[in-house]
Structure 1
C-alpha cells in the first residue's frame, strides 16, 4: 500500500486530495500549519526542517501543495519563505528520507509574464519564463520553487511538476483568490470587472490529476491541470443562472483597472487590509491567456470536467456556510 504525505493537507485542494487517497484505501499523512484531523498528521511549517523530517519519515510519495496562495501580503517576503524556501526544505527532506516520488504543485501564474500580449494567446508546458518576467512576488516565488524542483531532479530525485489552473468547488475555507472573486461578485462587493480569460479546474478532478501525475507522470516533466477556458462574461452569466443574483454590468478598461489596483494595493500596505483588486491579480487579468492541458490528457490520461457543475458546487457550499450575507 502506498503511503503518501500531503503538505498543505488542511487546505482547499489538500483536503480533497487526502480524502481521495483515503477513499482509494491508501495510507495518508498530512503536514500543515493548521490543526489536522485524524491520527496521522504533523502540524508545522514546510519551511521548518524538523517538521519536514518528521512528516516525510516512512512515506513513499510526497504531494507538495503547501504554500502562501494569496496574491498579496503586507510582507512580500512571506511568499519566498513559504513557496520557494519551503519547497527547498521539503525537497531536501524527501531526498534524505529516500522518498520514491515527489509531486510538486505549482501555479498557472508562472506561465503568464510581463511580455504576454494583451490580446488572446495560449500557453502550454513549453512556455519557459524567468523570475524577472513574473507579475508579482507570488508568481515569482512559485517559479523559483519550480526551478528548485528541476534542480532536485538533476541531483537524482524522482519528481514531477503539476500546474493547476484555478481550483473551483466546495470547501475552500481559506478563500483562495478564485473563490474570493466569485464570493465578492455574489455579495455585490465588486461593481465592475475586467474582460479577462479564466480557466477553472473542478477541485475533485484536480485531486485525480495529482494522483495521475504520481502514477504516470514522466520524471522532470511539467503538466498543466486545467479545465475550460472561459471569459469573465461567461462566468458572470453562469453565476446569474446558478444564484439568481445580478452580477456587474460595468466593464473596466485595463488601464483604469490597473490604476485602481495601484491605489488599492498602496492603501492596503498602509492599513493591513487585503486589497479587493491586488495589483498582481490586475496585471494577470490584463493578459487574456488560455491554458492547454493536452499534455496531461495525452500522457496522464486525465481531463477535467466542466466548470458550471463545479460553480454550482461552490455556490451551494457558500450558501450552506452562510458566506453570502
Structure 2
C-alpha cells in the first residue's frame, strides 16, 4: 500500500494517475476542504478511463499538521510519496509556509518511522539548493547557504529537507528529489500552469534570467523508478535533481507563446522595472485590500543565471527526460483544448 500526500496538487495528481494506471493500491491524504475534481480532470488529459482510475484511489481525510491523523492514514502503508507543501511567494505566508512545510514533514517522518514504513520519497525543490559563484551548473553537492534574501519558500524547502535527513539518521530509508521549475497541465489559475494562461491573455514582459525546467510526467516517472524495490537499495538516502534542461525565461515564454499561437512578449523587465513594479503592487494592495500580483519574492532572481544539472539520475539509473520543446507544445495543446471544453470547477 502506498500513501501519497499532496495528491490534489500538480505533482501529486500526476503521480496518482501513474500509480493507479499501473495497478498499485493507493491511499491519498486530503484535507476536508480539498477539491479532488482537479485530480479527475488531470486524469482525463491522458486517458478515457479517468473515472475508473480515479475510483481506485482511497481518499483519507487528514492533515500533515495533525500527527494522529497521520498515524491512522499509515495503517498498512509500506511506501510514502510526500508531495504536500504550501507554495507561495507572498511575504504574508512566510510563517504559515514554514510551519506547514517543515512541521508537517517532521510529523510525517516521525509517523513513518513509528509505523515501520520501508520506503519514503520526499519532493523537495531546487530552492533547497545553493548557488554557484562562477556560473557553473548547480548539482546535488551545491549546498544551500543562509541569506536574508532567501524566500520563505526556499527556507521552508531547505528545512523540510533537513527533517528528511534527520529521519534518515534515525533509521528511515528515503530518497529526495529536487525538481526544477515543473511544467504540466492542471489548474491554470495557480502555479506554473498559470504562465500558460498569462501568455494566452497577452503577457508582454519577459526577463533574461536562466533556470531549469522539467515535465511533471518526468518528475513522477523518476519518483516511481527511484522508489521501485528493485533499485531502491542503490539510490536510498540520496538526493536527485530532476531537470530536463536550462532555458532563459525569455525563451521559455517565447516557446509557450508559439505553442498557443500568441504574440511573444516584447518588453524586457529589467531589475529596476521589477523593483518598481513590486513596490507599486505592494503599495496598491494597501488601498485595494487584495494581495499584490507581483512580490519581491516572486521576481527575485528572474534576471539571474542559474543552471542546473539533472545528470545524476541519468548516470545512476539510466533515466531519460522528455525534450522541453515537446513538453511545452504538449501542455499548450491541452491548454487550448481546455479553452474550448468546460473546465473542472
TM (norm. structure 1) is 0.89
How far apart are residue 267 of structure 1 and its match?
4.2
Matched position secondary structure for 2:2: strand
Question: 1:91 matched to which residue of 2?
Answer: 109
- For the pair 1:160 / 2:178, whether they are aligned, the reply is no
1:60-88 CA-to-partner distances (Å, cap 9, x unmatched) read: 11000001023226332121122111101
Structure 2 residue 71 is matched with structure 1 residue 53? yes
Distance 1:240 1:169, change over 3 A: same
1:19 aligns with 2:27: no
CA drift of 1:233 comes to 2.5
DSSP-derived class of the 1:40 partner: strand
Alpha-carbon distance between aligned partners in 2 of 1:164 and 1:314, rounded to the nearest angstrom: 18
Identify the residue that residue 201 of structure 2 maps to in structure 1.
187
Q: Secondary structure at the match of 1:304?
A: coil
From 23, 30, 33, the equivalent of 1:32 is 30
- Conserved in 1, the CA contact under 8 Å of 2:186 and 2:193? no
Residue in 1 that maps onto 2:4: 6
Query: Structure 2 matches for 1:265-280, cutoff 5 A?
Result: 265=282, 267-268=284-285, 271=288, 273-280=290-297
Q: Contact 1:107–1:142 at 8 Å: present in 2 too?
A: yes
Q: CA RMSD in A?
A: 2.4
Q: Are residues 35 and 250 of structure 1, via their aligned partners in 2, closer, same or farther at CA, if it must alter by over 3 Å?
A: closer
CA deviations over 1:107-141 (Å, ceiling 9, x no partner):
1112256xx65x84420100111344662111101
Q: Where does structure 2 lack aligned partners over 5 or more consecutive residues?
A: 37-53
The answer on whether the counterparts of 1:257 and 1:282 sit within 8 Å (CA) in structure 2 is yes
* 1:127 paired residue number: 142
Which ranges of 4 or more aligned residues in structure 1 deviate by more than 4 Å?
Answer: 265-272
Deviation at 1:292, TM superposition (A): 0.3
Instruction: Spell out, residue by residue over 1:145-191, the C-alpha distance to the aligned partner (whole angstroms, 9 max, x if none).
Output: 00111011011111111001122122245621x22233212211x33
Q: Equivalent residues in 2 for 1:295-306 (5 A)?
A: 295-306=312-323
| Cα distance in 1 for residues equivalent to 2:130 and 2:23 | 38
Q: Is the 8 A contact 1:223 1:293 kept in 2?
A: yes
**CA contact 1:73–1:274 (8 Å) conserved in 2:** no
Q: Which deviates the most, 10-19 or 264-273?
A: 264-273
Q: Which residue of 1 aligns with 2:305?
A: 288
Separation in structure 2 between the aligned mates of residue 270 and residue 53 of structure 1, nearest angstrom: 45
- Tell me: CA distance 1:162–1:277, structure 2 relative to 1, closer, same or farther (3 Å): same
Note the alpha carbon deviations across 1:266-303, whole angstroms, 9 max, x for none. 54477553433331221132321011011111113222
Aligned length in residues: 317
Alpha carbons of structure 1 residues 185 and 299: separation in structure 2 relative to 1, 3 Å: same
Give the SS at the match of 2:322: coil
Gapped regions of structure 1 (runs ≥ 5): none
| Contact 2:180–2:243, Cα closer than 8 Å, also in 1 | yes
**Partner of 1:108 in structure 2?**
126
